[in-house]
Amino acid sequence: MEEKTVWEEQARRGRNHAVLLVDMLAETFRKKLVSESFGIDFDPTAFRQMDGARHFSASELQAWADALNEKELRGEGFLLESYLEFEKALDAFRAQADALAREAWGNADNASLAQALESWADSYESTNGYAYGYTILNRFYPEGIKAAVAAREPDVVKQNAFLKVLLNADKFSETRLEQESLLGIAIAAKQSESGFEDARVKEMLSDHAAKFRHLGFYYFYRKPFSEKDFEGRAKHLLDEGLEKKTGELELQKGVEHDSKRIMDSLGFSESERLKVKTFKQVAFTVNYYDESVSYCVCKCLPLFNEIAARLGISYAQLVELRVEEITQALSQGFVSDSLKKEALERYEDSALVLEHGEIKVLVDGELQKYYLLQKPSEESYSHLTEFKGQPASPGKARGTVKILSSAMELAKVLKGDVLVAAATVPAFVPAMERAVAIVTDEGGLLSHAAIVSRELGVPCVVGTKIATKALKDGDLVEVDATNGLVRKIVL
């Protein structure tokens, strides 16, 4: 009798990822690419997406953490080298997407389309061997750095100030580079009598959109940011005052120097300095992964749209199919009516489960039966007036809660609001810039919310587990991100 899997939620984003994406994740694990990537004796055998969340076997998550920790203890520098290799794999993935984007897919036969999709999937899967490593490292790696600071500085406020710098990446994320470019556009518009109608400003906006439009994507969902989107954010910078954003970006430029100064003043050992350097590389690469997948999807839209058109289905249906379903359909020249119908059902809701070496996609009645067995009952936390999470970026702020369940809701976050979400992704950045504080259900110090909030200088509390359930839109809250506390304010 097969042992029953005890599942543990590892990531939640409000709704399911496209089946095409999760299928490639599942294939990554089935092909044992985690052990190949990290050089450890471990590969997860149980993985699923259900009800908007990704889960692994609880026991395997612990085994994964143990394997990474043991290898790092045996040979210092292993994790740094692994994440430098991860960065190279992402660079290669981007280069392949650039090459595919140069092809004229309308002239290609079905076999060539299938081959292109399979090569894209293989390249993506080669990066996925590293992808969930950061969630595992969140379990133990930051604690060594925090302990090193606490051992030398007893004051909690000063500890957090030091950690904000030490845990900030030295390399600039695309999000950070995009903000600097946007600031340049806002300054140029302010200096011109014609403002955003100036020919040079328009050209800058066009170049900016060409370089960063993919940040509007959320993997296979949403659409590229437009010049109008970027112009709106540049105007927001003018309204807010350019000095504030200029100051934030200048502080970011000094992170590497400030980190060295702090470590020197605290008397960090070489091994402690290596931990900080490793953390910074992991933090950078975690962001770069999200940005790179969106980049590669955006670049290859002509390929995906041509495949969809060739098979007589919509893009939305295409990305709800598994890779092998698409290549088989290209081979036979059509998608069956039943699979077309199921693709639409998958878009509404589905579960993809890798277990015992087999990948299954569940919909409709089969999905409901699975939910009855696996979906936990919802607990109510609305009665709570205070709850705690992990301080990710220090500071204190008050504001009105706006809960984001997807990137489609960015406009509801206004200047001075508290952004609350299960987690944040690169497409959330325009709203994060307007927020006075950020609170998430999941994540640790290597999560997107933690990394970007430190770059923005916005107070942030992560890993509360219950923020989206304890709060609702319109609640007034105080976020004490120095101590990891979120309090409702009753007037």
Question: What would the pLDDT profile of 128-172 be if each residue is shown by its tens digit?
Answer: 999 988 889 988 889 899 999 999 999 988 998 899 899 988 888
pLDDT at 1: 45
Three-state SS at 50? strand
For residues 305 and 315, give the distance between their C-alpha atoms in angstroms, rounded to a whole number.
Answer: 6
Tell the residue number behind the tokens 């992560």, with chain if given. 462
pLDDT at 254 over 90: no
Distance of CA 4 to the CA centre of its chain: 30
Burial class (CB in 10 A: 0-12, 13-18, 19+), 319: buried
Average pLDDT, the chain: 92
pLDDT at 389: 94
Helix-helix angle 19-30:110-131, to 10 degrees = 70
Q: Describe the chain by its helix, strand, coil percentages, rounded to 5.
A: 60, 15, 25
Element (H, E) at 387: strand 386-388
Helix-helix angle 242-253:174-191, to 10 degrees = 140
pLDDT at 71: 92
State the Cα torsion 389-395-434-169 to the nearest 10°. Answer: -80
> What is the model's pTM?
0.89
Three-state SS at 151? coil
pLDDT at 252 over 80: no
Tens digits of residue pLDDT in 317-376: 999 999 999 999 999 999 999 999 999 999 999 999 999 999 999 999 999 999 999 987
Higher pLDDT, 125 or 237: 125
For residues 175 and 429, give the distance between their C-alpha atoms in angstroms, rounded to a whole number.
Answer: 8
Residue (of 118, 121, 140, 5) closest to 60 by Cα position: 5
Handedness of CA 181, 220, 392, 240 (dihedral sign): positive
Tens digits of residue pLDDT in 267-323: 999 999 999 999 999 999 989 999 999 999 999 999 999 999 999 999 999 999 999
For residues 40 and 367, give the distance between their C-alpha atoms in angstroms, rounded to a whole number.
Answer: 35
Tell the residue number behind the tokens 């995906």, with chain if given. 304
Q: Residue 260 contacts by C-beta under 8 Å, 6 or more apart in sequence?
A: none
pLDDT at 2: 57
| Percentage of the chain lying above the pLDDT 70 cut | 100
State the Cα torsion 131-406-379-393 to the nearest 10°. Answer: 60
Over residues 378-401, mean pLDDT: 90
pLDDT at 270: 94
Tell the residue number behind the tokens 């920790």, with chain if given. 69
Tell the residue number behind the tokens 């199921």, with chain if given. 342
Over residues 68-76, mean pLDDT: 87
What are the structural domains of the chain?
7-135+292-374 (no CATH), 174-253 (no CATH), 386-488 (3.50.30.10)
Over residues 64-88, mean pLDDT: 92
Least confident segment among 2-16, 335-349, 401-415, 474-488: 2-16
